[in-house]
Amino acid sequence: MKQGKILIVSGPSGVGKGTVLKELMKRHPNMRFSVSATTRSPRPGEIDGVHYRFLDKASFEDMIARDALLEYASYADNYYGTPAEPVQQALEQGIHVILEIEVQGALQVMSRRKDAISIFIAPPSYGELRRRLYGRGDTAPEVAEKRLKIAIEECSHAQEYSYTVVNDNVDEAVQEMEAILLAESCRSEFRPIHLEEEL
């Protein structure tokens, strides 16, 4: 069984990460999203273990103490993080695990898992990013402006990722992500040659 890979994927709001990842997963059924753990309360319709793994504060802090998270952060008095164990189990079953996380979490995972593949999904241009954020119609200009500022800050971290995929065209972006996965599986460290054994 060939081990799966961790795919760290970040990119600003409005860049089309969801569309690209959905299409990638359609083409590669041996791929799944990691389920984050959180201490916030479930919202109506959210299912434990599907949308989030809902934990109480003590359990989450116990995971922190046991170093059982690939990354975590706290927002608005709640913890959010990625439990390491389910990721590891999936990898051992040959499943690629996508961590769709923001920059700070991504950097934490990169420093812990040198074998993770990190991809930043970038907008083709400032103008296009702006159009996508404002163009949603239902977004107030102040909200769009704030998202745009955050997006620009996020893009300033792209160089910390191994790869940058520009989402100008979904099909091309998916092809690049597929090429990255295939190329990474060709790294010599994962393909030792054992000719001597057969002698």
Kindly list the residues in this chain that would bind a second copy in the complex (CB under 8 A): 120, 122-123, 125-127, 129, 151-152, 155-156, 158-166, 175-176, 178-180, 182-184, 186-189, 191-193, 195-199
Task: Give least dist CB 91 to a second copy, A.
Answer: 20
Cβ proximity to a second copy: between 76 and 182 the closer is: 182
Could you tell me the smallest distance in angstroms from the CB atom of residue 180 to a second copy?
Answer: 4
CB of 2 to a second copy, least distance (A): 13
Written as one letter, the residue type at 119 is I
Which residue, 69 or 151, has its beta carbon nearer to a second copy? 151
Which residue is it, tokens 């393909």? 191
Closest CA to 17 of 152, 177, 187: 177
Return d(Cα 15, Cα 140) in angstroms, integer: 18
Choice between 37 and 122, CB closer to a second copy? 122
The CA-based dihedral angle spanning residues 40, 43, 49, 51, taken in that order and rounded to the nearest 10 degrees: -100
140: left (phi over 0), alpha (psi -120 to 50) or beta: beta
Decide whether 30 or 78 has the Cβ nearer to a second copy. 30
User: Could you tell me which residues are beta bridge partners of residue 79?
Assistant: 74
Tokens of 59: 């359990």
Q: How far is the CB of 70 from a second copy (least distance, A)?
A: 21
